[in-house]
Structure 1
């Protein structure tokens, strides 16, 4: 396929290069270009995206994948719209919640895909991950205010990781990876961090959604669970949120003062939401329930 224009998209943390390309018929597409070393993982990602699309999930549907000039080119449908994070606050809280419910239902569909293999036992795998994150955090030149509170909570609740199921995960499921189309619908994007794991671990980045729109974040949980949220979910959500938080500070240090500040602020907010870990349901969710 030949393109008459190619405009770079400079968003996100991915190493891939992304473009909006246009063909001779003025049809736009989304082109993702990756290193050839990623060919196998990109083929798997493409196959999984095809399966997700077959479930009726609103997304940039995959069209083709090929090795071209020592690069992996994957072509997808183009979505005309805007980033959800930038536009969500321009709609009512009720509409934000409705978008969140839809995002939760989309995630439910993604998690329904059958998988042929799983990781090692989830409890063993994730406890090792927690150990690694705590170890790196303790070696970090900067610390969170009251950071020990997070570590104590993680250590006290590890047994909850026992006997957790595993599913195909989107891998980076938060408001920054959604678009609101010109048709008013919500679309999920960026499957390049796909993984296998506990379905509820997928909510570990809901912090980013809650900071922007508590209504959207609340809707996402309600939509996923069909408005019947199990008590155990909140405890595991706290584990996955705090594990992510503890692991993010050493990561932020390598990116400089601005990212460190972002994570320090997030840690303070999380402590407030959980009342210094004395309550298990974050206050942004309760806020949604009382604000309507």
Structure 2
């Protein structure tokens, strides 16, 4: 890696083991005291990683609190691709939120909603059939991967029946440039109590409701944050069509996550099945698409 720009200024390089990404990640300090995040990938991913870096550059220009893109290039004598980003000091929101008051969790959620609204001003497209075509193709790949994984997930018949009955909800959707995994695992709360977004890998032009499925993941650790995010994003009143699409995306992505989990081992399969059970409990086996964590929370946190 010594052919990375300014590598001679690096005084500390520590590997980071967290996350499922195939990237090699490192915490870096320079001789001027700057702290950085270094991500290294195989050169075969050059186009994908360049696209990611360009998207982060676009989003950062909107003034989002986020890990800032600094440099991109080729290293290891042409065998690797690197990204250098600013380091965000703090703790994962997932770890911090449960220890905070319900009101503070809600307020952080409202900030997340404002961040999403700001992101989607960077690049947006009006409702059309484009997203339905894109996501239908993606869903077909999810289903094929599941069918060939050799293991049956909990509630299979119920999940596939829901997808079949509600596929029309994909019709005529807008698209925006957004963080496509915007949930508490990918947010940091700094020592100054500021919310920052990190790990923009996989982001792109998507249905905003798809990007909002992160609220369901975050709700497991902080329903108050998720409620705040939805209230802020929608200006107070969550539209009915959101809940149908939210359930559709959660089912589709759960099927995909299960197929991936099978390749990773029984522990991940068990976790994936448990998350599906939790989701089905939230929506009463699709008898009520507004999840219980949203309906049952004390309204005093929603001020």
Residue in 1 that maps onto 2:14: 7
Residue 64 (1) aligns with residue 65 (2) = no
1:254 aligned counterpart, secondary structure: helix
Secondary structure of the 1:113 match is coil
| 1:102-123 per-position Cα deviation (integer Å, ceiling 9, x unaligned) | 112111222221269x998222
Deviations along 1:142-192, whole A, 9 cap, x unmatched?
A: 323332111111111111111111222312211100011111101000011
Corresponding residue SS for 1:206:
helix
Deviation at 1:130, TM superposition (A): 3.0
Q: Provide the alpha-carbon RMSD of the alignment.
A: 2.2
Asked if structure 1 preserves the Cα contact closer than 8 Å seen for 2:128 and 2:171, the reply is no
Aligned to 1:259: 268
2:209 to 186, 200, 221: 200
What is the CA distance between 1:291 and its match in structure 2?
6.8
Q: 1:67-106 maps to which residues of 2 (within 5 A)?
A: 67-69=74-76, 70=78, 71-106=80-115
CA contact (8 A) 1:205 1:241 kept: no
Q: What is the rounded CA distance, in whole Å, between the counterparts of 1:63 and 1:89 in structure 2?
A: 33
Summarize the alignment of residues 126-141 of structure 1 with structure 2, pairs less than 5 Å apart: 126-141=135-150
Larger mean Cα displacement after TM superposition, 205-214 or 139-148: 139-148
Q: Does the residue aligned with 1:191 lie in a helix, a strand or coil?
A: coil
Cα gap change, 1:76 to 1:129, in 2 (>3 Å): closer
Q: Distance in 1 between matches of 2:44 and 2:152?
A: 36
The offset of 1:259, in angstroms, is 0.6
Give the Å deviation of 1:6: 0.6
- Report the count of equivalent residues: 292
Contact 2:117 2:233 in 1 (8 A): yes
* TM-score with structure 1 setting the length: 0.92
User: TM-score scaled by structure 2?
Assistant: 0.89
Structure-2 separation of matches of 1:125 and 1:45: 19
Match of 2:42 in 1: 35
Q: Work out the CA distance in 1 between the residues paired with 2:123 and 2:181.
A: 20
Mapping of residues 130-279 of structure 1, within 5 Å: 130-279=139-288
Task: Give the conservation status (yes or no) of the 8 Å contact 1:177–1:189.
Answer: yes
Quote the residue 2:3 is aligned against. Answer: none
- 8 Å Cα contact 2:124-2:174 kept in structure 1: no
Query: Could you give the per-residue CA deviations for residues 182-211 of structure 1, whole angstroms, max 9, x where no partner exists?
Result: 111010000111122211111234332111
Counterpart among 119, 144, 153 of residue 110 in structure 1: 119
Does the C-alpha gap of structure 1 residues 158 and 196 become closer, same or farther in structure 2, counting only changes over 3 Å?
A: same
2:28 corresponding residue in structure 1: 21
Instruction: Show structure 1 runs of 5+ residues with no match.
Output: none
In structure 2, distance between residues paired with 1:23 and 1:193: 28
1:135 CA displacement: 4.3
Separation (CA, whole Å) in 2 of partners of 1:100 and 1:206: 9
User: Matches of 1:241 and 1:249 in 2, distance apart?
Assistant: 12
Structure 2: gaps (5+ residues): 1-5
Q: Decide whether aligned partners of structure 1 residues 149 and 289 sit closer, same or farther in structure 2, where only a CA change above 3 A counts.
A: farther
CA distance in 1, matches of 2:87, 2:138: 36
